[in-house]
Amino acid sequence: MIIAVFPGQGSQTPGFLTPWLEIDGVRERLERFSELSEVDLVAAGTEWDADAIRDTKVAQPLIVAASLLSFDALVSAAGARPAGVAGHSVGEIAALAAAGVFSAEDGMRLVGIRGRAMAEAAAIEQTGMSAVLGGDEQVVLDLLAELDLTPANHNGGGQIVAAGALPSLARLGEQAPRGTRVIPLQVAGAFHTHYMAPAVDTLRAAAADVAVAAPAATLWTNRDGSTVDDGRSAVDLLVAQVASPVRWDLCMQSFAGAGVTGIVELAPAGTLTGLAKRALRGIPTVAVKSPEDLEAAAALLTGGDA
């Protein structure tokens, strides 16, 4: 069972879309995605610097657009589709579109709304996020509770992302448990926490009229790593996820339990395959960072018959 996974915010780098625009039809499709998301994705993916594409309302549509374009290129190269899909945080929008729950166009419209709404919610209070690497998980979780911080991302592989008020995050850095490293993240706010509640309301209203269908592939949810076979339920979980922790650790446990034999991460790739190499040792992975990686990804997807 070969699956496709879609990365979340922070995976983008300046100019990463440039080689993809050499594929016929990609520029035109990206221009359409720009209209739907209300972001100039061509300029963002080829010309803008790291600070500009770090902006939440830019980063989210940029990442999802890249994932969808590279997914379509993979399917075209392989002549086959993955048996399952999952996305990390905003990557769930790409995963639902890839599974046919809603159209790519509706996905791009929703991610534009999501990015703007989360940026607005983040501006209400001074909050942020820090990655905690290593250490005893329970010790880390106990300290986060003591500091009134939320474990917003359980990424597996010994990585938890804490989110909350900036003074509390500063104390986390000062009181880092033995065996851990605390790395402040360059994000605008405490995503996947109660601070994002206003964005949930906005996204729920926008998603209410979206046409949905049952997933055409196995679809895992960030909520608890379970599979979802109803389209409307998948969208509801996607909406709630904005203010709920990302349980990527449970998704990876479910991949193992389902007998996943290979993982392809779509652009801008690298983060999720890195986590898989630590948590799912022995399962082959391909990170599709550029069109040059499509041949290897297609070969993994088709068992070498691409």
- Known catalytic residues are 89, 192
Of 29, 10, 56, 19, residue with least CA distance to 294:
19
DSSP state letters, the chain: -EEEEE--TT---TTTTGGGGGSTTHHHHHHHHHHHHTS-HHHHHHT--HHHHHSHHHHHHHHHHHHHHHHHHHHHHHTS--SEEEESTTHHHHHHHHTTSS-HHHHHHHHHHHHHHHHHHHTTS-EEEEEEEES-HHHHHHHHHHTT-EEEEEEETTEEEEEEEHHHHHHHHHTPPTTEEEEE---SS-TTSGGGHHHHHHHHHHHTT------SSEEB-TTTS-B---HHHHHHHHHHGGGS-B-HHHHHHHHHHTT--EEEEPSS-SHHHHHHHHHSTT--EEE--SGGGHHHHHHHHHTS--
**Between helices 197-207 and 104-122, what is the axis angle to 10°?**
160
Tokens found for residue 50? 């790291």
Contact 130, 272 (CB under 8 A): no
